[in-house]
Structure 1
Amino acid sequence: MKNKHVARILQNIGDILEIRGENPFRVRAYRRAAHSIEALGVDLAELRRADRLTDIPGVGRDLAGKITEILDTGTCAYYDRLIREIPAGIVQLLTVPGIGPRTARILYEELQISGLDELERLGRAGRLAELRGLGEKTQNKILSGLELVRRGRERLPLGRVYPFASALVETIRAGGAPVERISVAGSIRRFQDTVKDVDIVAASGKPEAVIRFFTRLGFWTEILEEGSTRAAARTEEGLRVDLRVVDPAVYGAALCYLTGSKAHNIRMRQLAAQKGLKLNEYGVFRDDRCIAGAEEDDVFAALELPFIPPELREDHGEIEAALEGTLPRLVEKKDLRGDFHVHSVYSDGAGTLEDIAAEALRLGLEWVGVCDHSHSLKIARGLSIRDLRQKIAAVRAFNQQSTGVKLLAGAEVEIDAHGRLDYPDEVLAELDLVLVGVHTGFGQDRETMTARIVAALQHPAVHVLAHPTGRLLGERAPYQVDMDRVIAAAARASTALEINAYPKRLDLDDIHARQAARKGAKMALGSDAHLVEQIGFLELGVGVARRAWLGPVDVLNTLGWAELGTALGKGKFRLLNG
């Protein structure tokens, strides 16, 4: 949670510097560092202890010093000085997508808006459109941005909450609390892309001791409930955590009940009633006798169902499939052989080729696509053609001497506003792996954006469309694009669609990924790692794939190194350094 606090301060510094008209490179430096820190996947304090803060993309020694100061004191002198020099309301306005520094200053100076509630009230009344230089289009964009901010406050990205929830469960398990079994439940266990709170279920014969251990943990800002079998607390970020302690004899039933969505649980109870049974959080009952409850498998078996994986428990057809015996064998983390999307020191990543391979080996992978940005994306240190060729040569040399993990010489190539790619065809032909993506021009209309992406998908050198909708959870809505047409074009062209596992993205989402698989398109999981530790984000991508009902055959990462050459069929996925 400290990562989020540090990132917020660095983001605010960048915003203030932009308002003051400071050097745009300084502004970008703070924002880039904030973005990197928020999605680290590892605790900043750990990197500091290892003297590795400068490994974070965009963090040099000066920024490392400010991060250290914030970790020690909660703030830094430079930030405190800056916020004294501008009205606090302007900084708050800048949190709304669609409001830049110029617009924030106009809103503050012309209407004295100093808060989001006031901004919404005046926007709904049409007052923003009356201001010179804004207009109705900008007003509508601001109101849409406000809705995004509101949703972001109500629900947090899974990638931000999942590591905390997992660590909390491990803390309770390993910290001396008398639990026999314990698990995260709720929307986190179903791998929903955003979550409202954390649900934890524990089995113990000493529930009061478990509750006491939980409520005495040092990072709660508020204890909301403390009973004999239930407790609830709130973190500094406002996240609510609920703990339920049950008898081991009903642990499976409680976990089923607290994992499934409301709609799924209703269907399960209806199915039980049809069989003359009663199902609740305490078990499956025939008359007054409990016939199942200790294990989730037993609960499903009592209803004559196979085990339904947690990620599917949404009432999206899983119960019907279970009754018919057609539930798919879902892809698992252990099935993965590689990662399609990792950045290196050649662009805006922190890992060398050797670092990336070592982490991949630690995670049990066989190969990694090293895909750095193309040259037009200057903010991400995109590679010139000369630098790209140097990287290709380095990958070739690495693979010649590596007896373990192999690397793909790849690139994340920008799709320009007209659907053209950022490197000429003769350069693309030298690459093992070509990811393409949109990083600029997000405001294009639906038809233009769709045509832009479809044109890139049809290029014969393209293997994967990266983060297909461009969303950033809680920060940026998907751009306007006809995903039906994109999916159909990808299937026709034998181009894979990425499930980008970076915590802020999780893009494609499960709905579109399931649709794509039905249309015959393949999925490629990419961690989009900028630190080597972030390759572990693949676990989040697996969660999305499982929610999408995808099996190993649907996910190209399950292919071993020797199989990659024919992975996409029709000769489109060619490896040049196998």
Structure 2
Amino acid sequence: MTIHNQEIADRLERAADLLEIGGGNAYRARAYRQAAQTISGLSQSVADLVANGDDLTELPDIGQRMAEKIATLVETGELPQLDELKETLPAQLSELMQLSGLGPKRVKALYQDLGVENLDDLKQALEAHRVRELEGFGRKTEETIAEHLARRQGQEPRTRLMEAEEIAQALAADLRAVDGVQDLAIAGSFRRRKETVGDLDILVTAVEDSPVMARFTGHEEVREIVSQGETRSTIVLRSGMQVDLRRMPEAAYGAALHYFTGSKAHNIAVRRMGMERGLKINEYGVFRDEERIAGRSEQEVYASVGLPYIEPVLRENRGEIEAAQEGSLPELVELDAIRGDLHCHTRASDGHESLRAMAEAGAERGYQYLAITDHTQNLTVAGGLDERRMNEQIDRIDRLNDTLGDRIRVLKSAEVDILADGSLDLPDAILERLDLCVCSIHDKLDLSREKQTERILRAMDHPSFSILGHPRGRLIGKRDPYELDLEQVLAAAAERGCFLEVNAQPKRLDLSDTDCRLAKEMGVKVAISTDAHSRANLDYMRFGVDQARRGWLDAEDVVNTRSLEALRKLLERP
């Protein structure tokens, strides 16, 4: 049984949660959590590494004992240490830690004092107003937890894009290997590269006697077969994700791909255009009366209503059809246009790699530059750098650049905390030594919309401010964006010559697609950066590019599509 990276990371995270809730060894909990972060950020399959006999201790923050535990998990599907923890604490307690405002100490208090073991128990305790009576909670905290719980329980189950990608690509690779399979595509919100995915829709064409349906329903990850037929089958995977496989005739493949890619609103608009021309458009093709006149390709479908091909990432009925009619669709930014990464961490703060290792990884990707942006002193939990340590870091970067030649340029930077009063977290004398500053908010996330906005505007007034990092502060599925007047922030950025970040970390993807579109409309450029904490995390760039493309951004809208010389000029404050 193949186990995906995210499944491994989830088990390790659960072990870390239960260790912390139970007041266990803090070092052990940290080891599990760091291993989980490493694995969730890998582009390689850990199961493949184990099968090939690779040394897992070569991965960041994975020692010999942890490597053995991971190998056992891959080979048996079990993590004995997690099973032992479940004998002393309810496993579902770790779900509580996914709610904003609930850390291990609070979850432990809920469990020990109120008998809360799961989300349903928590809901009952909140409704009875028993949570506010606990020490360290209070009425406001109770109301906040209740709000987050209600929002979580009211949402349909969705999977972050990166995790869906791992599942989808493994399944697609297995099906492509089946005899007789010709075309295969994963459609739906996955193909539109939305930040979260519901169900997966897979389309295939295949010769008549291809056993593709049998392979699909017999896949090793199937938990339940919902339906099984010659042209359509539905399964539920171990992860809980539902997957539909549809077998289409070649003549209808493009029409089906268009239909099942969506979005629904986009499809309705295209069908309406077809009706105006006397055509019927559905998943089986484009028809005039009973005659199919198009449908083998998506290009044929669009051409039938007088439109050029529209990229899947734009198909949300947000003006893309009108732009196509006018010939003004954007030339969307491509991954190979990125010349460098402007947000990366090293072991100097909470990263997992050395300065040189990150630089070498950037050079291997063909980047011209890489900004090292370790945290500053206010973020103590991440080992933020104070004045002395930051000066030492700057000196190390200068020495490293002397050895790198023209392979890559490491830019001196920092992820500088924006303090509650809008000041920056390092003295001006140090900020002036930096090539750029990524300035971010990491605390006081509950300030009012007015105060949070004013905080950022004051920070932007500082001449060393370059880029606003993860501008909304959200964690997808876990933490909502903080209150912010983004239009006011964008207007200030345009006036001051600052930029906003599209943080490509799959748990953030911040700015959102609609925020990217707004930035473009207001004339503010963005930096697509990975917030990488390891070499492998540099692969996150593709998710940031997807997000920017969904926001209609072209290469000109993205600062790190520039050469180093052009970037330096762009970073000069007016």
Equivalent in the alignment of 1:40: 42
Equivalent in the alignment of 1:13: 15
* Cα distance in 2, alignment partners of residues 14 and 213 from structure 1: 37
Equivalent in the alignment of 1:169: 172
* Cα distance in 1, alignment partners of residues 392 and 97 from structure 2: 40
Q: Does 1:55 find its partner at 2:59?
A: yes
1:66 to 61, 66, 69: 69
* Cα distance in 2, alignment partners of residues 207 and 279 from structure 1: 29
* Cα distance in 1, alignment partners of residues 412 and 96 from structure 2: 42
Equivalent in the alignment of 2:519: 516
Letter in 1 for 2:249: D
Asked if the contact 2:369–2:564 (Cα under 8 Å) also holds between the matched residues in 1, the reply is yes
* Cα distance in 2, alignment partners of residues 243 and 45 from structure 1: 25
Equivalent in the alignment of 1:203: 205
1:399 to 385, 389, 401: 401
Asked if the contact 1:120–1:146 (Cα under 8 Å) also holds between the matched residues in 2, the reply is yes
Asked if the contact 2:504–2:540 (Cα under 8 Å) also holds between the matched residues in 1, the reply is yes
Letter in 2 for 1:381: G
* Cα distance in 1, alignment partners of residues 249 and 475 from structure 2: 41
Equivalent in the alignment of 1:483: 486
1:310 to 303, 309, 312: 312
Q: Does 1:236 find its partner at 2:224?
A: no
Equivalent in the alignment of 1:150: 153
Query: Structure 1, residues 268-327: CA drift from partner, whole Å, max 9, x if none?
Result: 111100111111111111222222111111111111001111011011111111112221
* Cα distance in 1, alignment partners of residues 35 and 496 from structure 2: 37
TM-score, scaled to structure 2: 0.92
Kindly tell me: are residues 415 and 36 of structure 1, through their superposed partners in 2, closer, same or farther at Cα, counting changes over 3 Å?
A: farther
Query: Structure 1, residues 328-362: CA drift from partner, whole Å, max 9, x if none?
Result: 11111122222222223333323344433443344
Kindly tell me: are residues 312 and 445 of structure 1, through their superposed partners in 2, closer, same or farther at Cα, counting changes over 3 Å?
A: same
Equivalent in the alignment of 1:250: 252
Q: Does 1:78 find its partner at 2:81?
A: yes
Letter in 2 for 1:483: L
Higher relative contact order (CA 8 A, sep 6+): 1
Equivalent position SS for 2:287: strand
Asked if the contact 2:341–2:371 (Cα under 8 Å) also holds between the matched residues in 1, the reply is yes
* Cα distance in 2, alignment partners of residues 90 and 191 from structure 1: 32
The alpha-carbon deviation at position 522 of structure 1 amounts to: 0.7
The alpha-carbon deviation at position 519 of structure 1 amounts to: 0.9
Kindly tell me: are residues 210 and 483 of structure 1, through their superposed partners in 2, closer, same or farther at Cα, counting changes over 3 Å?
A: same
* Cα distance in 1, alignment partners of residues 391 and 552 from structure 2: 39
Equivalent position SS for 1:484: helix
Equivalent position SS for 1:471: coil
Asked if the contact 1:54–1:61 (Cα under 8 Å) also holds between the matched residues in 2, the reply is no
Asked if the contact 1:365–1:405 (Cα under 8 Å) also holds between the matched residues in 2, the reply is yes
Equivalent in the alignment of 1:576: none
Asked if the contact 1:180–1:248 (Cα under 8 Å) also holds between the matched residues in 2, the reply is no
Query: Structure 1, residues 545-565: CA drift from partner, whole Å, max 9, x if none?
Result: 111011111111211223111
Equivalent in the alignment of 2:375: 373
TM-score, scaled to structure 1: 0.91
The alpha-carbon deviation at position 88 of structure 1 amounts to: 4.8
Query: Structure 1, residues 93-133: CA drift from partner, whole Å, max 9, x if none?
Result: 44433333443344334543333223224424544445565
Query: Structure 1, residues 454-504: CA drift from partner, whole Å, max 9, x if none?
Result: 222222112111111111111111122222222222222211111111110
The alpha-carbon deviation at position 510 of structure 1 amounts to: 0.6
Kindly tell me: are residues 422 and 134 of structure 1, through their superposed partners in 2, closer, same or farther at Cα, counting changes over 3 Å?
A: closer
* Cα distance in 2, alignment partners of residues 230 and 25 from structure 1: 50
How many residue pairs match? The answer is: 569
Runs of at least 5 residues in structure 1 that lack an aligned partner in the other structure: 574-578
Equivalent position SS for 1:180: strand
4+ aligned runs moved over 6 Å, structure 1: none
Equivalent in the alignment of 2:549: 546
The alpha-carbon deviation at position 23 of structure 1 amounts to: 5.8
Asked if the contact 1:330–1:551 (Cα under 8 Å) also holds between the matched residues in 2, the reply is yes
Q: Does 1:468 find its partner at 2:475?
A: no
* Cα distance in 1, alignment partners of residues 232 and 56 from structure 2: 40
Query: Structure 1, residues 65-89: CA drift from partner, whole Å, max 9, x if none?
Result: 4333433444444333333233556
Equivalent position SS for 1:455: helix
Asked if the contact 1:471–1:478 (Cα under 8 Å) also holds between the matched residues in 2, the reply is yes
Equivalent position SS for 2:374: strand
Q: Which moved more, 1:6-15 or 1:553-562?
A: 6-15
Q: Which moved more, 1:42-51 or 1:331-340?
A: 42-51
Q: Does 1:329 find its partner at 2:328?
A: no
Asked if the contact 2:12–2:32 (Cα under 8 Å) also holds between the matched residues in 1, the reply is yes
Identity %: 40
Matches within 5 A, 1:496-535: 496-535=499-538
* Cα distance in 1, alignment partners of residues 64 and 530 from structure 2: 27
Letter in 2 for 1:346: A
Equivalent in the alignment of 1:216: 218
* Cα distance in 1, alignment partners of residues 107 and 352 from structure 2: 34
Equivalent in the alignment of 1:572: 573
Equivalent in the alignment of 1:277: 279
Runs of at least 5 residues in structure 2 that lack an aligned partner in the other structure: none
Asked if the contact 1:342–1:529 (Cα under 8 Å) also holds between the matched residues in 2, the reply is yes
Query: Structure 1, residues 335-392: CA drift from partner, whole Å, max 9, x if none?
Result: 2222222223333323344433443344343222222222332332333434433333
The alpha-carbon deviation at position 265 of structure 1 amounts to: 0.8
